[in-house]
Amino acid sequence: MNDFLRRILFLPEQGSTLASRVDGIHYFIIITTFIVGAGIGLTGFVFLVRYRRRQAHALTPQIEAPAWLEAIYISVPLSFFLLWGALGYQDYVWSRTPPEGALDVYVTGKQWMWKFAHPDGPGEVNVLHVPAGRPVRLLITSRDVIHSFYVPEFRLKMDALPGRYTETWFEAVRPGRYQVLCAEYCGLDHSHMRAEVVALAPAEFEAWRAQRKGAEVASGAGVSEPLVEQGRAVATRAGCFQCHTVDGTPHIGPTWRGLYLREEPLASGGTIRADVAYLTESMMDPQAKLVAGFQPVMPSFQGRLSAAEVASLVEFIQSLRPERPVPPAAQEPVYEPRGR
């Protein structure tokens, strides 16, 4: 039945765990509306034949429906709309929450190509290799204009915005090749901005990654140092330690010690969870979500850090987990410029 509906609706194959959930609610809504539409049409036809005017001066009788019948007319459609909303919200929350242990990939849209960076592996252009059966989290940004990362077989679409990082995830259910399109008009060659997700069996993926690393060594690039050490080097080179500490002591900016997944109070009110998406956004647009108690003195690193450098820097921050509880950011003193 599922395959029959997919074919008559001209939908591509279901290539991810998200696709089956999206198609399920899609089928439910379409079947319900078709049944209701057919019922309304059939009722109208019966009324047209049975209650047609047979005499030129015949009067139409006034009919008042009982309250219980009007209640049914209102409550049944409302119940379906509420049910669709609840199912859609449930799937939305599920699709916006990457599972633990997901493989991170940084995606950069650029006229007119897609660039992919694995935090602990090689970078790719217009081809993304991933293991089948394992969740993959995408952190997406753009170097120029708005793009949209769209994989029809995955039922996955997420905008790529300049100066910001958006987050989504997928899990390929089987090895195969899946086309990537740009679903947002981005210029002259928008229709040519295509890429491909290549899902490999887990063993084949590890073999591919080892082969790429071996090719780097053979080309003279050498063996890359651990990702955490790369992040430390990037932080040193970018001057991050002038404002942030790694030992928990207060400074110009929030300490990185214990920052990852900490609930940070915002100057505008509320809190924000310092996850990967927030950390990357704070590098590109530090004024978007200001942490309470700190001055807006951090510059933007948009265009100054590559996707691989951002990935290594985030990995370094994640590694700075405290051995004992760290005071929350709200208890850190407000930065006072010198001379006051």
Residue of 291, 79, 113, 82 lying closest to 187 (CA atoms) = 113
- Concatenated DSSP letters for 64-92? ---HHHHHHHHHHHHHHHHHHHHHHHHHH
List the single range of 94-98, 109-113, 260-264, 325-329 with lowest mean pLDDT: 325-329
Q: From CA 232, how far away is CA 236, in angstroms rounded?
A: 6
What pLDDT is stored for residue 225 in this prediction? 58
| Antiparallel, parallel or unpaired: β 156-160 and 147-151 | antiparallel
What pLDDT is stored for residue 44 in this prediction? 93
Average pLDDT, the chain: 85
Q: From CA 70, how far away is CA 73, in angstroms rounded?
A: 5
For the record, the structure tokens of 313 come out as 């820097």
Tens digit of each residue's pLDDT (9 = 90 or more) over 163-207: 777 889 999 999 999 999 999 999 999 999 999 999 999 999 989
**Higher-pLDDT residue of 236, 306:** 236
CB 155 within 8 A of CB 27: no
What pLDDT is stored for residue 143 in this prediction? 83
What pLDDT is stored for residue 218 in this prediction? 59
Whether pTM exceeds 0.75: no
Q: Using the structure block, give the residue that is written with the tokens 């001057």.
A: 239
Tens digit of each residue's pLDDT (9 = 90 or more) over 142-158: 888 999 999 999 999 99
